[in-house]
Amino acid sequence: MQVGIIGINHFSSSLSQREKVAKVCRELFIAKQVSFPIQYVLLSTCNRTELYFSAPNLADAHSEILGLLREEIQDPFDQNLYSFFGSDCFLHLGRVISGMDSLIFGESDIQRQVKVSYESARIKRRLTPSLHYMFQKGLKIGKEIRTAVLPTQARLPATIYSLVDCLKIGKKKILFIGNSVINRGVMSYFLSKGCEDLTLCTRTDKTPFSSVKLEKWDVTKQWFKYDAVISGTYHGEYIIQGSSPKCEVALFDLGVPRNIDPTLAEHPQIRLYNIDDLGQMANQSKKTSEKEIQLCETMLEKIVHRQVDLFHRKQQSRWRYVSACEKLSILP
């Protein structure tokens, strides 16, 4: 398969390094829509930024992409990147979609994030058969593994809820910033726990839950009036910064690049948690056994190997058909 990937994630780099790469990749491959003969799908989440690409010569395409990134990122970053090609790229995507490569093993939000990234790329540009096949089959594989092996995961929302619950406040006012997949998951969990005073601040006029109040973006300037703020959106600058709250406030920054100025953690009335902090806490709450991990790995390898073999056989059949048609067309 003529597919490859260049990526960076929570295993290979720090949060600050991921922020830099995420900003540059979004600018190059989403905002500017760089023009070069490489088909690609950009996956950018709180834990990873990955560019899946397809080209006749994968080595040349890989070098060209690295060159573009080096022009924009001044700090050394090559040692934090990873690359895979062909079936190894497919296998990596399967691990990502199934949640096996996530900070919280088996988390389910990533499946929807991959689907949205693929659908967005498919609409904006033509993708090669290899990319279409890999993402379509990868989404099915991820769902299959999660259904067969992995339990339903709600460790991140549960971790955030438990931290908010530690605040000894009778009726907690909670502000969510951004109508993202990750925020919707946390909102849903909070609602299931009976939380009533939830407010969503978004740049659209839509709310996923009728019981969640909707506010305009300006409410972010009044963040210190809430007991907890959970921010998970994309923004070029810090959304929350400055100010001195009179009461204790818990801030949860789920964005990469970060949405909340990290220096706010120095304030005595503020508890600030970023996505890496929360992921580590969630993992400590429930350890995944080695047996579970190995079962998922074995199952994934077998399925991916079978799908890659099927792809090659389909391609060979197509080539034989085209070749036969060409021979018939030249007969007298």
What's the CA dihedral at 115, 119, 121, 124 to 10 degrees?
Answer: -160
Q: Is 248 assigned to a binding site?
A: no
195 is catalytic: no
Q: Is 283 assigned to a binding site?
A: no
What Cα–Cα distance (Å) separates residue 139 from each residue in 144, 148, 151, 185? 9, 14, 17, 19
| DSSP string covering 91-121 | HHHHHHHHTTTSSSTT-SHHHHHHHHHHHHH
Q: Is 109 assigned to a binding site?
A: yes
Residue 98: is it exposed, middle or buried by C-beta count within 10 angstroms (0-12/13-18/19+)?
A: buried
Q: To which H or E segment does residue 213 belong?
A: strand 213-215
Q: Is 128 assigned to a binding site?
A: no
Helices 290-329 & 129-148 angle (0-180, nearest 10): 150
Tell me the sheet residues that pair with 175.
Answer: 199, 229
Bond before 37 cis per omega within 30 degrees: no
What does the alpha-carbon distance between residue 99 and residue 102 come to, in Å, rounded to a whole number?
5
Q: Is 107 assigned to a binding site?
A: yes
Q: Which of 25, 46, 89, 201 is catalytic?
A: 46
Q: Is 18 assigned to a binding site?
A: no
Q: Is 280 assigned to a binding site?
A: no
Matching residue, tokens 């099915």: 140
Q: Is 46 assigned to a binding site?
A: yes
Q: Is 182 assigned to a binding site?
A: yes
Q: Is 116 assigned to a binding site?
A: no
What's the CA dihedral at 211, 212, 216, 218 to 10 degrees?
Answer: 140
Q: Is 47 assigned to a binding site?
A: yes
| Binding-site residues from annotation for NADP(+) | 178-183
| Binding-site residues from annotation for substrate | 45-48, 102, 107-109, 113
Which residues carry out catalysis? 46
| Binding-site residues from annotation | 45-48, 102, 107-109, 113, 178-183
